[in-house]
Amino acid sequence: MRKQKTTSSIRETIEAVVIAFLIAIVIRTFIIQAFKIPSGSMLETLQIGDHILVNKIVLGTPVDIPFTNISLFRMPGLRKPGRGEIIVFKYPEDTKRDFIKRVIAIGGDTVESRDKVVYVNGRKLVEPYVQHVDPDIRPRGADPRDNFGPITVPEGSVFVMGDNRDQSYDSRFWGFVDLDKIKGDAVIIYWSWDSTKSWPRFNRIGKIVK
């Protein structure tokens, strides 16, 4: 009798673990996913060591075979990404990697930069989130960091840039992001670790990403 109870208890434990695992996979695949910020391309908005949650429902997301980069299909979103949103997407030049940047222009927009000032459809963008750490301005033709365009964003794509504008590798260099490569929009910082101080940044936990 005791052996039967022990066997039943083990079976129930295994079933509970399997169910919990499957629920976690469903949530990660279709609803929300955690990401860690590995670089400083989005400073000061996002710090190295910030851990964020990304909403996959609103913008839709590619559905991959779990723990692989093989896409099965794309979940339809409730809307398309808008200008100013911070999104996570599959890096176009290596879809095994995820990038996070801010949407600057959407399909049909004309975007350009003149001496580090960005214009969309001929209007200067007000970008309080941007930081510049290099006072030098690279001339047009040297590279597209400070001067580029005007270029028109194709329909079905977005143009993205990092907030740490002088130290971000983004659409200025490798082009547009197809909408079907977008994994979701950044929502909230749920944890932040300062590796230089080996201490949590408690003041960042719970901060809305915007």
Active-site residues, by number, are 41, 101
137 and 116 Cβ atoms separated by less than 8 Å: yes
Closest-CA residue to 176 (of 116, 98, 89, 113): 89
Distance from C-alpha of 134 to C-alpha of 70, rounded to nearest angstrom: 39
Distance from C-alpha of 51 to C-alpha of 34, rounded to nearest angstrom: 7
Q: How many CB atoms lie within 10 A of CB 42?
A: 25
117 and 137 Cβ atoms separated by less than 8 Å: no
Residues whose CB falls within 8 Å of the CB of residue 153, separated by 6 or more in sequence, listed in order = 105, 106, 107, 108, 109, 110, 111, 159, 176
148 and 172 Cβ atoms separated by less than 8 Å: yes
Task: Calculate ∠ Cα 84-29-96, nearest 5°.
Answer: 70
Q: Burial, 52: exposed, middle or buried (Cβ in 10 Å; 0-12, 13-18, 19+)? A: buried
